[in-house]
């Protein structure tokens, strides 16, 4: 009983400090979002002909971007990359480290941040309230991810645009479609979580 009273008094005092309560909420949302991406990175399918694995991370980026807003979404993705760069095994295949960010998948990871920001901007324009508009926004988000991913592969691996399409785009189209429709289903649940 005493522990409960102490906790209640402490919680009430924190609420009296301007900005602390909202900061804690923002921090929790960022942490929850980065954990979602890390969990989705565990769902990995490696292809024998491509250095880039198929993961569920795109799904997480779509949900976070369309539900968090541009600033919070971008910060969440940056936090995720910082976690991996600092040594936490949050990247696909439990990889980690700064070197991974500069590997073949580096462009896709950069694309995650840009796509999350753009998707968040669409959401702030109420695109997330209509299925057709959210679908268009998510297609744009995925196009951004592929744009940076393919550009990075062409530059880093010194391969042709055709090779980049074969190894970095075509095998991922089915999973991208699944990600869009899955994110569309999950979005209402994400909004409820954020409102709470």
HEC readout, 43-79 = CEECCCCCCCCEECHHHHHHHHHHHHCHHHHHHHHHH
The mean pLDDT value for 145-174 works out to: 93
* Residue-level pLDDT at 192: 72
Interval 176-191 mean pLDDT: 86
Give the burial string for 11-48 (b: 16+ CB within 10 Å, else e): eeeeeeeeeeeeeeebeebbeebbebbbebbeebeeee
Q: In this structure, what token pair is assigned to residue 93?
A: 């295949």
Q: What is the pLDDT of residue 22?
A: 86
Contact 150, 165 (CB under 8 A): yes
pLDDT tens digits along 29-88: 999 999 999 999 999 999 998 889 999 999 999 999 999 999 999 999 999 999 999 999
State yes or no: pLDDT of 130 exceeds 50: yes
| Three-state secondary-structure class, residue 97 | coil
pLDDT at 195: 67
Helix 20-42 × helix 57-68 angle, to 10°: 160
Residue 189 token pair: 């649940």
Q: Beta-carbon neighbour count of residue 85 at 10 Å?
A: 17
* pLDDT for position 16: 41
Token couple for 162: 């055709």
- Residue 7: predicted pLDDT: 41
Tell me what percent of the residues of the chain surpass a pLDDT of 70. 88
- How far apart, in Å, do the first and last CA atoms of the chain sit? 27
Regarding predicted confidence, which is higher, 48 or 9?
48
Mean pLDDT to the nearest integer, 162-172: 93
Q: Lowest-confidence range among 8-17, 62-71, 147-156?
A: 8-17
Q: Are 35 and 90 in contact (CB under 8 A)?
A: no
- What's the pTM? 0.84
Domains of the chain: 2-195 (1.10.1760.20)
Give the long-range contacts of residues 96-103, CB within 8 A, separation 24 or more. Answer: 102/156, 103/51, 103/156
């Amino acid at each position: 009983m005493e522990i409960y009273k102490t906790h209640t008094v402490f919680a009430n005092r924190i609420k009296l400090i301007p900005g602390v309560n909202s900061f804690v909420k923002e921090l929790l949302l960022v942490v929850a979002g980065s954990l979602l991406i890390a969990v989705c990175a565990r769902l990995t399918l490696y292809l024998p002909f491509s250095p880039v694995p198929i993961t569920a991370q795109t799904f997480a980026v779509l949900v976070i971007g369309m539900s968090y807003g541009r600033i919070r979404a971008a910060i969440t993705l940056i936090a995720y990359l910082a976690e991996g760069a600092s040594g936490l095994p949050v990247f696909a295949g439990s990889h980690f480290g700064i070197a991974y960010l500069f590997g073949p998948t580096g462009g896709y990871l950069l694309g995650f941040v840009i796509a999350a920001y753009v998707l968040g901007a669409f959401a702030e324009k109420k695109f997330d309230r209509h299925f057709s508009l959210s679908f268009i926004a998510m297609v744009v988000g995925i196009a951004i991810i592929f744009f940076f991913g393919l550009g990075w592969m062409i530059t880093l691996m010194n391969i042709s645009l055709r090779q980049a399409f074969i190894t970095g785009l075509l095998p991922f189209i089915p999973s991208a479609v699944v990600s869009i429709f899955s994110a569309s289903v999950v979005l209402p649940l994400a909004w409820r979580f954020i409102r709470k």
